[in-house]
Chain A
Amino acid sequence: MDFQVVVLAGGTSKKLVPLVSKEVPKPLLPVANRPVLSYVLEQLELCNLKDLIVVVEGQDAALLVGAWISSAYVDRLHVEVAAVPEDVGTAGALRAIAHHLTAKDILVVTGDLVSDVPPGAVAAAHRRHDAVVTTMLCSAPVGGPAESGSSAGKDKIKKPRRYNIIGLDPTKQFLLHIATGAEVEKDIRIQKSILRAVGQMEIRSDLMDAHVYAFKRSILQEILEEKDKFQSLKQDVLPYLVRSQLRSELSLNGVSQAEENGNEKVSSQNNHVVVSQILANASTPSFHELYALGHNGSAPVRRIHKCCAYIASNTRYCARLNSIQAYSDINRDVIGEANHLSGYSFSAHNNIIHPSSQLGSKTTVGPHCMLGEGSQMGDKCSVKRSVIGRHCRIGSNVKVVNSVIMNHVTIGDGCSIQGSVVCSNVQLQERVGLKDCQVGAGFVVTAGCEYKGESLARKEK
């Protein structure tokens, strides 16, 4: 497939402090003891999309990510790691690497996606409709994701939060309207012109933009170049394309493209045009084509472009790791209901205990748990719905519930950890109680301390 994939891996996201740090940028954050980025890369590999550019914010983070990828995926994927300055936004990141893009279509995937929806399906939908942009939509997670993980229990929002407001045509193939960000909470404003053209539009609030986009390369580059104020793909580029689809300002007819590509490609280009026409004729023309034809049905009088949507079936798992709450949820899901994602084989007890780990007597590890390589646990411990990383040393009488414990963590006797995230190299002394806390890497919690809903981290030097 002539697709080039850009993985926007991000950097040290401020939303995820204290989980991320200079040593562990967001792409390397472990989800069920694997960096989150690996979930995306493996899905891409499954779809035979092996030509990747991984874009990381910040030079240092890029080095770390590059090192990890080259060790883990050598010979499997052809990956180029590009560093971009921080805070340029997703569109800015693409702008920075625009000169690397050469393929006809570009698939842009966010690096924090944990999903089993094949990105290849998005690419195929994109090709099928000869669209300018195709976006992947998945059902919005139900339940109230709070801003920080601490208040998950307290102020549960009654209705599911809305991520996007999306307008679809009756065949559910074309994206007619999208509202993101702050617009979601405002009144919905629908262009009448597009409604006239399509006749019927379904407006959904239960779908989420999964941040997997297929773009036509020439269009993407044109927009990035002309609209230099656009910062975000999700909030600027996509809404712009959707809004202007019936009155395109883009130069996208085949002729100009052929010229642009040079004469040697003309023949293949023509071939492609023919193929796309055959494909288009196979089905009834979409409203776009009808609209473009104008009222007399002769030659196209209007310039249009198509924005498509690929709606993942709601049995698929799809989540973005973009908040601490999401981090806990995804970890729980990956070893729980969506355990096929983790890539591990689960034991009869529905958990994974690495053979090299050691458990003390009367220690129980419940279902939906994971215990990493070389970890040791003392006596009478109990672990429920939690992930414990590699080489952790856990004392006796320790309770771990609904938590994530990363690598090389030392936990003293009699600790109780609930709903918390404990980063690598943390030391918890005896009888520490943590509830709904995040503990940053290398932090030491002194004996007997009790914390509830706090974020603990070392002072940055």
Chain B
Amino acid sequence: MGAQRKGGTRATEDPEELARHPLQAIILADSFTTKFRPITLERPKVLLPLVNVPMINYTLAWLESAGVEEVFVFCCAHSRQVIDYLENSEWFSQPNFTVTTIESHNSISAGDALRLIYERNVIHGDFVLVSGDTVSNMSLTRAIQEHKERRKKDSNAVMTMVIKQSKPSPITHQSRLGTDELFMAIDPQTKQLLYYEEKADHLKGFISLENMLLADNPSICLHNDKQDCYIDICSPEVLSLFTDNFDYQHLRRHFVKGLLVDDIMGYKIFTYEIHSSYAARIDNYRSYDTISKDIIQRWTYPFVPDVTFFGNCATKVERQGMYRASEIEQSRSAQIGPFTVVGKGTRIGNNSKISNSVIGKNCTIGSNVSIVGSYIWDGVTIEDGCELRHAIICDGVIIKSGAVLQPGVVLSFKVVIGQQFVVPAYSKVSLLQQPTMQDSDEELEYADSNSGTLDSSIAGAMGKLNGDMTAELSGTQHWPASELGPGGAGYIWSISEGGHEDEWRHSVAPIPAEKLAEVMQGIEDDMELLNLDGTGLTPSGELKPDDNSNDSEDDDDSREDSFEKEVEATFLRAVHENINVGDIVLEMNSLRLSYNMTSADCGGAIFYAMMKLALEIPHTAAGELYKNVSSTVSTWQKLLKFYAKEIDDQIEVILKFEEMCLESAKEFSTSFSQILHLLYDKDILEEDAVLRWADEKKDAEESDKVFVKQSEKFIQWLKEASEEDD
């Protein structure tokens, strides 16, 4: 069918291939994150209005203009809403542009989505992979052509990522869109992507590039000044790669990293940099704000409010970037400032001031209202004297007179803010209660398998609740009055810990100056770390493997821990299965070798395991505990002796015991000297070991000497005994 349809939009030398496959695109209409909560609990992200047009329209309109012929929209969260919207829109009736929806209820990540699409077997050639929140006006022709040419030469070039120069200042590089700091390494000649670090580990002041990279490329460009547009041109292999690697979830974190690390298959990713055209993805509230402004300032032309594309209505652009739809009732004394969009049927009262904001359809704004940098969606009522600063107000919200929204507030659907109420900065308010599950941590969002389904289940519950709500609202209101002021309705979501610091980074509100200063300070701290490094220079001028050694220390600790656990497990198994001592020694030895531990470590670990065993046998008093210990020790004394042959090993055992008494098993602390004596009686500890231990502790701090003091008598006795021997 493509033969005739292959329009003049693309000019590739390989008409045959093109004839076979119309250009396809996949839109992921679910970002698989929770960054837009609570709004996304009730409406899918792709349908959220961006300058009064649902986001997905920007993506679809761009794809259509860029010559894509077949689009698959993958819907997951609130899939019904997305499908209904598309069915009612004109997208299904476009010539030369087919839109097909693929619905899934159990996908929890982009990886799952692509695996499902692979199973459907609908993609036949190179395709464009974007998410449904992409705003762009770039031409795909060149990028696809480059991709195809590369593919002809090297079938391993499976993907081309679109990147863009970000703003020049070091601070705004990454903060502009509220995304994480991105470091990339690109081969300047071939544009091959060699390194991708998205979730920058702020503690690490270094990027570590593999030495081998330079072996193949005499020069590499490291970038911190590019942004990833999340527009990928993929070969069909990408889908099968996702299927082969069923643990790939995230497009960047897993797929891209996986391909870059894996050098067996040799798959390559390339980049395509756009210079004059626009491309960005709405990832969080901050990028929502930034991209809205870009649209108003016409960077995304032709996708701007006064050009009719799908889903917007006629708006006229006036001076200073003011867009006003027809049928606006505006009081003469109201002032509408620059870069503001006002939607159809909105009424604005006396002396209200609005600047840098977007106001949707059919809103009612009272008198003396001040709105700065806010996004007000459809059907919102703002009563007199309210003050809004950098807020997002969803459909149907009512803000009663005199209420103040501090910067960064998000009000979800139909929330009511009471009179004179001050909503604190960065708060998120919704009629729905915050889900109690701990999935707000981004790292875990893929781990919890029901986050995708949860949205829909909540939405279901929500429909019911909504019905109740409206009934209730009209009748009696039993909202906790304190939460949102008198007559308020909704819950203020608590900001999950950990996310708190980052709240400003992703919020609609501009980043406060002190935060910027803090970021800069953070950079300086990095430098400080680094200079510490610098002073630790070896004469040869090499960097001391300072942080390496730190790392390995941490490593050591964790290894030691796991070693102890292994030893304990082995020992317990031995106890329960009655394995004889010789066999355990064999097992312990193999453990010891595999963890590269000394026999002293081993002795300590075994002793630890034994004492824990003794502790676990039920006991009531210290005396009973002592009996348990003595029975355990006498059963397993051979084993312990095997690993505590040397004086040093024995000291290690004592130290371990001391540590236990102080930390993990305080129960022993009272009978420390008794047990010490017992170990001596059983010939596990020699007197030399005990004396040397006491000796070592002589100069220790008082707190460290508790146990030495406790066993003073015993030590004294040992000393005398040895003197007598002499």
Residues of chain A whose beta carbon lies under 8 Å from any beta carbon of chain B: 159, 162, 165, 167, 180-183, 185-193, 195-206, 227, 229-232, 234-236, 239-240, 243-244, 246-247, 249, 287, 290-291, 294-296, 302
Contacts and interface: CB of A to CB of B under 8 A. Distances in A.
Nearest to A160: B218
A244 B534 contact: yes
Of the candidates B170, B171, B213, B533, the one having the most CB atoms from chain A within 10 angstroms of its own CB is B170
B221 A236 contact: no
Contacts of A240: 534, 537, 541
B542 interface: yes
In the A-B complex, the 6 residue pairs with the smallest Cβ-Cβ separation, listed nearest first, are A199-B225, A235-B541, A188-B209, A236-B541, A206-B218, A247-B527
B517 A295 contact: yes
A435 to B, nearest CB: 32
A232 B541 contact: yes
Contacts of A231: 539-540
Contact of A190 (B188, B206, B520, B533): B206
Interface in B172-191: 173, 181, 183, 185, 188
A295 B516 contact: yes
Contact of A202 (B219, B527, B537): B219
A199 B200 contact: no
A205 B170 contact: no
A189 B548 CA distance: 12
A199 B223 contact: yes
Main secondary structure of the interface of A (DSSP, over half): mixed
Contacts of A243: 530, 533-534
B526 interface: yes
Contacts of B200: 192
Nearest to A233: B541
B539 A196 contact: no
A249 B531 contact: yes
B211 A186 contact: yes
B543 interface: yes
Given A200-B225, A204-B219, A192 B206 contact: yes
A190 B207 contact: yes
A205 B533 CA distance: 24
A337 B308 CA distance: 68
A202 B534 contact: no
Interface in B540-559: 540-543
B688 to A, nearest CB: 42
Contacts of A200: 221-225
A202 B219 CA distance: 7
B171 to A, nearest CB: 6
Nearest to B216: A159
Contact of B208 (A167, A188, A195, A294): A188
B680 to A, nearest CB: 50
A195 B207 contact: yes
Contacts of B168: 199
Given A231-B539, A243-B530, A247-B531, 14 more contacts: A188-B211, A189-B209, A190-B207, A191-B206, A192-B206, A192-B526, A199-B224, A203-B214, A234-B541, A235-B540, A240-B534, A240-B537, A243-B534, A294-B520
18 contacts: A188-B209, A189-B206, A190-B206, A191-B530, A196-B170, A196-B173, A198-B224, A199-B173, A200-B223, A201-B221, A201-B223, A202-B219, A206-B219, A231-B539, A240-B541, A246-B527, A247-B527, A295-B171
Contacts of A182: 540, 542
A202 B541 contact: no
Nearest to A234: B541
Nearest to A301: B520
A195 B181 CA distance: 11
Contacts of B223: 199-201
A42 B517 CA distance: 53
Contacts of A202: 188, 219-222
Contacts of A294: 520
B524 interface: yes
B528 A247 contact: yes
Given A189-B206, A235-B541, A244-B531, A195 B211 contact: no
A186 B533 CA distance: 17
Given A159-B215, A193-B527, A249-B531, A203 B541 contact: no
Given A199-B168, A244-B534, A190 B222 contact: yes
B523 A193 contact: yes
B190 to A, nearest CB: 14
A203 B520 contact: no
Nearest to B545: A186
A209 to B, nearest CB: 12
B205 interface: yes
A340 B167 CA distance: 48
A133 to B, nearest CB: 14
A244 B517 CA distance: 21
B542 A201 contact: no
Interface in B205-248: 205-211, 213-215, 218-225
A185 B169 CA distance: 33
Chain B facing A: main interface SS: mixed
A192 B541 contact: no
Contact of B530 (A181, A193, A227, A296): A193
Contacts of A192: 183, 200, 204-207, 224, 526
Contacts of B526: 191-193
A282 B540 CA distance: 40
B222 A203 contact: yes
A205 B214 contact: yes
B270 to A, nearest CB: 18
Contacts of A302: 524
B554 to A, nearest CB: 18
B530 A183 contact: no
Contacts of B211: 185-188
Contacts of B524: 247, 302
A246 B531 CA distance: 10
Contacts of A188: 207-211, 213-214
A182 B539 CA distance: 13
Contact of B219 (A190, A205, A235): A205
Nearest to B533: A243
A297 to B, nearest CB: 10
A185 B222 CA distance: 19
Q: Which of A162, A180, A204, A249 is most buried by chain B, counting CB atoms within 10 A of its CB? A: A204
Given A192-B205, A192-B206, A197 B170 contact: yes
A240 B538 CA distance: 11
B443 to A, nearest CB: 21
A404 B292 CA distance: 74
Contacts of B222: 167, 190, 195, 200-203
A199 B205 contact: no
Contact of A187 (B181, B208, B219, B520): B208
A459 B539 CA distance: 34
Nearest to B212: A187
A227 B222 CA distance: 31
B224 A229 contact: no
A190 B215 CA distance: 17
Contacts of B207: 188-192, 195
Interface string B330-360: 0000000000000000000000000000000
A301 to B, nearest CB: 9
Contacts of A295: 171, 516-517, 520
Contacts of B539: 229-231, 236
A461 B534 CA distance: 46
Contact of B218 (A187, A205, A290): A205
A189 B219 CA distance: 15
B541 A187 contact: no
Nearest to A140: B218
Contacts of A190: 206-207, 209, 222
B273 to A, nearest CB: 12
Nearest to A246: B527
Given A192-B200, A196-B224, A295-B517, A203 B219 contact: yes
Most buried by B among A182, A193, A198, A244: A193
